[in-house]
Amino acid sequence: MSDYFRPDINAMAGYIPGEQALPGTPIIKLNSNENPYPPSPAVMEVLRNFNWEWLRKYPNPFAQEFRNAISQALGVPADWIIVGNGSDEVLNLLIRACAGTGRKVVYPTPTYVLYSTLTQMQSAELVEIPYGEDNILPLEELVVANGSVTFIATPNSPSGHVVPANDLRSLAANLSGVLVIDEAYVDFAEENALELVREFENVISIRTLSKGYSLAGIRLGFGVANPKLLSGLYKVKDSYNIDAIACAVGAAAMSDQAYKNACAEKVKVSRAKLASELKKLEFFVWDSQANFLLVRPKEGNAEFLYQKLKEVGILVRYFPQPKLNDKLRITVGTDEENQTLVQALINLQ
Ligand SMILES: Cc1ncc(COP(=O)(O)O)c(C=O)c1O
């Protein structure tokens, strides 16, 4: 390895995102938890009427129009919001501001792999604590570890389970560091953690427009927390991290909650149907409150099925790692896409 990089960068493996096909490739894409429905018509309207004058100038450094729309939609003051180029950027800001050499970053596993990548980039100490049987949160161990940053994704990925509110409250009350509640999939769930943000200064809820709002391509996410906690994140944020088009698109999407909720309802109905079809094929299917299902084929031949599905143009997510390599994570698509997947699995039996 070359000497250009810091030793810890040489030692780390980079994050590997889900496969993204070129636009126009005829595949059924069920590997990155995108929304199968188009963005709100209000978003299309913004794109059609976008004034080039806004491209000539730098955008508002705080994406004020977008923050105001989030504030309206969620009923939180605008100064309790920080926006990012995808929620990944907000996670990155948190790590940059709060973690570093000699500081611990703690989370239960399996979960979103980017937490590990970001921690290694920042040379912080990584503490991974396995989830118990049936996705029981290792509450005591997390409290004892007392990270400078503790990440909890809820609904979690790849399991789809929701962490009980009481566990989150206990964590918030007992940790001296920051509790990051990553709610990327909250739009498909029955509960959320916003109340805890109001209750505890050390809690931040992270949201994205990539899933519920069908806007993975524009890269928009945000965090909601007490301004005292946000003050450090603002110090490490790029001045113009959200471009003018994204800011206007994000504001339009947040202002159309009815459309987002209607799409999420359709996904939830399809999720139940898909789960039931897969159970008929003798898959073990974990209960999910996200827009995907974690499933285990009866024969445990997840990698074989992943490859065979890919050959017929259906992409699902396979994780070649202990405890996950006998499972697949399947994004809920339209009913038609889900049916094509189920038929392909029947053909493989
Ligand atoms: C748990 C979790 N958090 C955050 C993200 C990042 O989302 P984005 O950067 O698209 O907002 C993802 C993406 O899949 C995710 O699964």
Number of domains in the chain: 2
State residue 39's pLDDT score.
Answer: 98
Q: Is residue 8 part of a domain?
A: no
Distances (CA, A) of 235 to 76, 149, 153, 157: 22, 17, 25, 29
- The answer to whether residues 157 and 47 belong to one domain is yes
Burial of 170 (0-12, 13-18, 19+ CB in 10 A): middle
Contact 81, 224 (CB under 8 A): yes
Q: What ligand 1 atom has the least distance to the C-alpha of 210? A: 10
- For residue 302, what is the domain's CATH number? 3.90.1150.10
173 CA distance to ligand 1 middle (Å): 26
Indicate if ligand 1 lies below 6 Å from the C-beta of 83. Answer: no
- The answer to whether residues 169 and 246 belong to one domain is yes
Q: Is residue 69 scored above 70 in pLDDT?
A: yes
208 CA distance to ligand 1 middle (Å): 7
Q: What ligand 1 atom has the least distance to the C-alpha of 18? A: 14
- For residue 63, what is the domain's CATH number? 3.40.640.10
Containing structural domain, residue 343: 14-38+258-348
- The answer to whether residues 158 and 284 belong to one domain is no
Q: Is residue 4 part of a domain?
A: no
Which of 85, 91, 114, 154 has the most ligand 1 atoms within 8 A of CB, as the residue to mutate?
114
pLDDT tens across 130-149, in order? Answer: 999 999 999 999 999 999 99
Indicate if ligand 1 lies below 6 Å from the C-beta of 210. Answer: yes
27 CA distance to ligand 1 middle (Å): 22
Domain closes at, from 255, 274, 306: 255
Which of 107, 208, 215, 329 has the most ligand 1 atoms within 8 A of CB, as the residue to mutate?
208
Distances (CA, A) of 8 to 86, 114, 129, 290: 25, 16, 22, 34
- The answer to whether residues 269 and 283 belong to one domain is yes
Distances (CA, A) of 310 to 182, 201, 277, 325: 30, 46, 20, 17
- The answer to whether residues 190 and 205 belong to one domain is yes
Indicate if ligand 1 lies below 6 Å from the C-beta of 153. Answer: yes
- The answer to whether residues 75 and 187 belong to one domain is yes
- pTM of the prediction? 0.96
Indicate if ligand 1 lies below 6 Å from the C-beta of 208. Answer: yes
- The answer to whether residues 187 and 334 belong to one domain is no
- The answer to whether residues 119 and 233 belong to one domain is yes
Contact 248, 51 (CB under 8 A): no
State residue 14's pLDDT score.
Answer: 85
- The answer to whether residues 248 and 267 belong to one domain is no
Measured distance CA(18)–CA(32) in Å, rounded: 6
53 CA distance to ligand 1 middle (Å): 32
Indicate if ligand 1 lies below 6 Å from the C-beta of 216. Answer: yes
Report residue 2's pLDDT band, with 50, 70 and 90 as the boundaries: low
Contacts of 126 (CB under 8 A, 6+ apart): 104, 105, 116, 119, 120
- The answer to whether residues 197 and 250 belong to one domain is yes
What six digits make up the tokens of 197?
């943000």
What six digits make up the tokens of 273?
């149907």
State residue 22's pLDDT score.
Answer: 67
Q: Is residue 220 part of a domain?
A: yes
